[in-house]
Structure 1
Amino acid sequence: MPLLSPSGKHLSLHQLMAMSTMMSLPAHSKHVQLLIPTGGGEGTSDVAAHQLYLSQPIQDHLRRVYDTLCDRERSLTYDNFVSWLESTQGQLMEVPRKESYLFEEFLAVLYYNDGFEAVKEAMPKDLSKPISNYFISSSHNTYLSGNQLSSKSSVDSYKTVLLGGCRCIEIDVWDGDAAEPIASDVSNLSTSPKPEHKRHLSATNLPSLAAEAAGKFSATYKSVKDAVKDRKGLGIHLLGMEKGNKSSESLAEGDLIERPPSTKPIRNGEPIVLHGWTLTAPVGFRDVSQTIRETAFKTSELPIIVSLEVHANLEQQQIMVDIMKEEWKGILIDVAHETCNPDERVPRLDELLGKILVKVKKSTSPTPEVLSTSTLGPLHYRNPSNNSLGPSSKPFSSSSNSLAPVNSRHEGDSCSGSEDERSSKKKTKICEALSNLGIYTHSEHFIDFTAKNCMKPSHIFSISENQILELHEKKREEMFAHNRDYFMRAYPAGFRFDSSNLDPSLFWRKGVQMVALNWQNIDEGMMLNEAMFAGEKGWVLKPPGYRSDTSETIAYKTLHLKITIYAGQNIPIPQNQEHGFHPYVRCELHVEKPDESKTVEMVEGNGRAKGGEYKQKTPYGKGDHPVFGNDGILLDFPVVTGVLEELSFVRFKVENAKYTMDSLAAWACVRLDRLQHGYRFLRLFDVKGAATRGLILIKVEKTVS
């Protein structure tokens, strides 16, 4: 039977597609499964554009909008349509010229021109600036799949973050055990050694002992947890043994300790990747390197920075170099380009497409030249200046005595810290061959902004969140001036054993290029990261006033924001909360506070992500297709001064109203300069960062002056 319009005429294929895909409920409308998690701006789902449909309440709201635009003859004219697009939607688009438009045609024009999207498409990127002039989507302890104490190290974590848009990853490298081959399967490591082969704690056998302890701890913890659950029906958090429900923005309970074993064995004698001085299980450095090679440039050609935290001895470091040159042949920056002297400048972004840069500390003194103990054959690199092949660097090695791992830290630091800030009685030395890979991105220990090492264009200071906030209080202008020209990396403070995240917007506003986050935990910090890098391929050009090549001042503005919430559809329902689901929308504005640029005491939570300063919420609705009245619910934020749109964010959380603690059901986060005016669909992610079919119809009224 042919589909007819309200006037009785047959609909065109274009109109038929619009109606059949936007106005009818699909037979199978379950929420989509995670393909690539969000957090880095490149999350995707299997929700194809043609699968969008509109629930009846949302159709009714849009019909009312259409009716207000119609003339006395109840038809929408071309002039009225174009005028509404410009004044209400703030959007110019091609509208096929007609005398009038049916409701279905009104929807089709908007739909096929992205007229419903709340988030503006990312602009074409200027790649001509020095790489220090960009914010970079960054991961902290990339190898971890869960918390900082007992979760598994996994190569899949690297695949996940790289496909999700991360461009700065971290590898924590330790000595492999040559005498006792380490398998990744924790169950094989839990067997105690025979008494006659008693092992002593050293840098070499620490990883195997840690893995063995992890297996025992895992079994013990699971038995205790199950016993308590059987008795009281309550969950237990790893830290603090909290009873009852946890915040749904924190790590899922199962992720804390129960983990599947890896299937790949670690090659005998090769370095391993794990979280030192914890119960995390290791993976092989070669496996990590191979995974990086396979996924590095699948979604983007923009470069990747590999941040190495090295605890391996000199002999193992040479093996690291051999592995990287073999696995990353042709994409590793292992020699300086003849037109880009690292003592004079860092490369432009367009000079590094498809390349991997290594961030590592520089060697402090020459190391003795010895024959490589690696079983790898001779390696060659391709010289980018003449496209010719040449031999790799000569191998270096240490004596047979292993260096002791780092065993003390600055106050406030912890196992979640960085190699640049950990203080020890005996620091790990870096061999020359490895040091030579830190060409345009090398680690420097921060002393002061007047120190000599501040003048090297390629230096990177890795500083904990707490110390950066202290520097902001005491040396605000010096730090901001430094970050206009040179790299700084922020990493989470030591109290974040549960892999919670800092508020990255605080540090972006201080010019910090790399704010390292725990990607395995979709909390406020990762939501803001998603908004910052949505569609940006992991690199965002800093706004004027933050870059080295401009004398322009920062363009602070005054903001008045109104958001009306009308209705939602396909809201993801949290597990075991299908009955009595009462969703409401909480909207938070993340902007620089008036006193944030002056003193650290005024920064709420000392850098901890605790929610936006300006908050509004709706009453609760009912079910996964909630309606908030014919006129919607207006969330009118007070006028805010000193706003920089490029570094401000609007975060939406759909929460389930309960008698006890409300739980997160879905969320969305948008950078303010990309939040579009007018009637828009806000697309939702679930608590694990999966894109869903869920959306909310909103109206945005944004005045920036």
Structure 2
Amino acid sequence: MLTQRVEIDRTFAEAAGSGETLSVDQLVTFLQHQQREEAAGPALALSLIEHYEPSETAKAQRQMTKDGFLMYLLSADGSAFSLAHRRVYQDMGQPLSHYLVSSSHNTYLLEDQLAGPSSTEAYIRALCKGCRCLELDCWDGPNQEPIIYHGYTFTSKILFCDVLRAIRDYAFKASPYPVILSLENHCTLEQQRVMARHLHAILGPMLLNRPLDGVTNSLPSPEQLKGKILLKGKKLGGLLPPGGEGGPEATVVSDEDEAAVMEDEAVRSRVQHKPKEDKLRLAQELSDMVIYCKSVHFGGFSSPGTPGQAFYEMASFSENRALRLLQESGNGFVRHNVGHLSRIYPAGWRTDSSNYSPVEMWNGGCQIVALNFQTPGPEMDVYQGRFQDNGACGYVLKPAFLRDPNGTFNPRALAQGPWWARKRLNIRVISGQQLPKVNKNKNSIVDPKVTVEIHGVSRDVASRQTAVITNNGFNPWRDTEFAFEVVVPDLALIRFLVEDYDASSKNDFIGQSTIPLNSLKQGYRHVHLMSKNGDQHPSATLFVKISLQD
């Protein structure tokens, strides 16, 4: 009963004609015409039979039975997410600014930003999810040991050295590519020197503390920085060590741009009514460890003939400021992001650690779009979907039109250009399988409905939903077809959302899966659903048929 799938029997019968099994030729035809497999041929067909056919007899006769066919469709080869994109397949030799980078905000928090616990566990979790940019909010602690917590709030405190040990042990478990530590430094000179000693002692050779040989006029690539940890923070002087510029310890504002300082002000006034802190000074030892990610105030986009930001300087923008810049000069922002890193972080009023949509920032070429990893929801779902691509290594190459220094792409004023490639996307939602109960009541049965959403440039954003199936989470049968038009496929993501419909209150989340359009496979596919926290549900799937045409 568990494995009986009427809709798959039907698909199998279409492929096998009157036969009980599929021959190699019939399987090749199915792979070509239905699944649109580029490598469809006898070799692929035989490898699928070898892999998924449970019957030794059928295997020996080079045939696939209905059971083998079901096993294939439920496997990674039959998944809606391209198997080829589950490994690193993109060019990793381009400058850092050409990639989107998986980045977390207030990484130390497990909950909200006013009273939640801080934990090294939060860093481990983010790193295991492929996150490559972590935030360390550093303050003076007792016994000359710097601590990390959300300043002026009641969040708990953790030792800077403990966080570094967790980072050292987990930095490269999920991905070999570089990790950026975004330092928000509020420490006195003495404790900054302690920070520098800890960084040196704990991270050792992992820490990049001088420019790579020959890489002194553009950002290095993720490939060149494999296994390295970079610091982002304030720096005295330029890329190469300064010649005694402004004395050994110049006065600088605490590490972040004005908007983050305003964020701290907002939190401070809400919590403790503390006076504004004095400007901080920067220890030379800490300054020298910042190489390719020097924090600077944003001074506007450079125009031809005026010296702009140096390639190793990066600015941070609050989400509101980034949206304003995209609105006022979308193409200027896109071009700026070809050669410079930009970091975006949530607005100061988000003390509940809620998130903004990262998609608009990515559309503008912003690389380090920091979200609260501790807060599940649609924004994190889309985030995880985007970074599931390229082997989930935390770096995704931006499309060519976002890497072109003379490009004319403007996400807020869409015109014709190389990015414009109109596609018709058809998605037939055929059935659901083993959708988990969300309500703890043991007699409750889910009433599932499916929403298919497109996230991308504003013109492509769309959402369609199926009817509700009552009292069936085991094998709800729908067969509903949706058609979408997508004009900038390189920036589009498809999100499949399954909810338990409730007439009297908010629908309960059952599962979801977000897939970049370029990683979406055509044909009969299973969409493997993720839980609210982004973990795979063991057997909850949607069975769909996907087609994509020019």
Task: Note whether the superposition's TM-score is higher than 0.5.
Answer: yes
Q: Give me the whole-angstrom Cα distance separating, in 2, the residues matched to 1:416 and 1:164.
A: 31
Change (3 A) 1:75 1:164: closer
Alignment of 1:640-679 (within 5 A): 640=486, 642-645=487-490, 647-658=491-502, 659-679=504-524
Question: Relative contact order (alpha carbons < 8 A, sep ≥ 6): 1 or 2 greater?
Answer: 1
Q: Please state whether the residue corresponding to 2:392 is helix, strand or coil.
A: coil
Deviations 1:296-350 (A, max 9, x none): 1112211100000011111111111111001000110011223112xx1111221
Aligned ranges for residues 295-694 of structure 1 at < 5 Å? 295-341=170-216, 344-363=217-236, 410=259, 413-415=262-264, 426-450=278-302, 454-534=308-388, 535-548=391-404, 554-578=418-442, 579-594=444-459, 613-628=462-477, 632-640=478-486, 642-645=487-490, 647-658=491-502, 659-694=504-539
Cα offset for 1:489? 0.9
2:94 equivalent in structure 1: 129
The structure with more strand, counted as a fraction of residues: 2
Inter-partner Cα distance in structure 2 for 1:134 and 1:358: 18
Q: Does the CA contact (< 8 Å) of 1:563 and 1:698 recur in 2?
A: no
Q: Report how far residue 404 of structure 1 moved.
A: 10
Identify if the C-alpha distance between structure 1 residues 424 and 340 changes in structure 2 by more than 3 Å, giving closer, same or farther.
farther
Bigger shift: 494-503 or 519-528?
A: 494-503
Q: Structure 2: any 5+ residue segments left out of the alignment?
A: 50-60, 238-243, 268-274, 409-416
Cα distance in 2 between the residues matched to 1:368 and 1:135: 37
Q: Which amino acid aligns with 1:176?
A: G
Relative distance call for 1:652 and 1:623 in structure 2 (3 A) is same
TM-score normalised by structure 1 residue count: 0.66
Distance 1:99 1:572, change over 3 A: closer
Query: Is the contact between residue 93 and residue 221 of structure 2 (CA under 8 Å) also seen in structure 1?
Result: yes
Aligned-pair distance for 1:430? 2.0
TM-score (norm 2): 0.84
CA distance in 2 between partners of 1:509 and 1:269 (Å): 44
Change (3 A) 1:489 1:269: same
CA–CA separation in structure 1 for the residues paired with 2:317 and 2:462: 25
Cα contact 1:141–1:416 (8 A) shared by 2: no
CA offsets, 1:430-476, max 9 Å, x none? 22221221111111111211397833111111101110111112122
Aligned equivalent of 1:148, options 113, 117, 142: 113
Deviation at 1:411, TM superposition (A): 10
Residues 571 and 665 in structure 1, CA contact (< 8 A), matched pair in contact too: yes
Deviation at 1:496, TM superposition (A): 1.4
Q: Which residue of structure 1 aligns with residue 77 of structure 2?
A: 115
Distance in structure 1 (CA, Å) of the matches to 2:257 and 2:365: 30
Q: Structure 2: how far apart are the matches of 1:302 and 1:498?
A: 31
- For 1:654 and 1:298, the matched residues in 2 are separated by 31
Distance 1:638 1:345, change over 3 A: closer
Q: Which amino acid aligns with 1:104?
A: D
Counterpart secondary structure, 2:281: coil
Sort the Cα spacing of 1:88 and 1:671 in 2 relative to 1 into closer, same or farther, 3 A: same
Q: Deviations over 1:61-96 (max 9, x none)?
A: 111111112234555343332111111111135113
Alignment check: 8 A CA contact 1:589 1:615 kept: no
Establish whether residue 106 from structure 1 lines up as the match of residue 56 from structure 2.
Answer: no
1:315/1:397 contact within 8 Å kept: no
How far apart are 1:478 and its partner, in Å? 1.4
Q: CA deviation at 1:704?
A: 4.0
* Contact 2:453–2:495 under 8 Å retained in 1: yes
What is the identity, as a one-letter code, of the residue corresponding to 2:81? V
How far did residue 698 of structure 1 move? 2.4
The structure number with the bigger radius of gyration is 1
Query: CA contact under 8 A between 2:469 and 2:476: conserved in structure 1?
Result: no
Cα deviation 1:139-158 (Å, max 9, x = unaligned): 00100110111101111100
Structure 1 match to 2:45 = 95
Does the 8 Å contact 1:363/1:429 carry over to 2?
A: no
8 Å contact from structure 1 (residues 417, 492) kept in 2:
no
Query: Mind listing any 5+ residue stretches in structure 1 that lack a counterpart?
Result: 1-23, 26-54, 178-267, 370-395, 597-611
SS in 2 for 1:349: coil
How far apart, CA to CA, are the structure 1 residues paired with 2:105 and 2:260?
Answer: 20
Change (3 A) 1:693 1:144: same
- Aligned-residue sequence identity (percent) comes to 29
Contact 1:483–1:511, Cα closer than 8 Å, also in 2 = yes
Match of 1:164 in 2: 129
Query: For residues 659-701 of structure 1, what are the alpha-carbon distances to aligned partners after superposition, in whole Å with 9 as ceiling and x for unaligned?
Result: 2221112111111111111111111111232221133232233
Answer yes or no: is 1:288 the counterpart of 2:163.
yes
Secondary structure of the 2:496 match is strand
Per-residue deviation, 1:111: 5.8
The letter for the 1-side match of 2:375 is N
For 1:651, give the aligned amino acid: R
The more displaced of 403-412 and 508-517 is 403-412
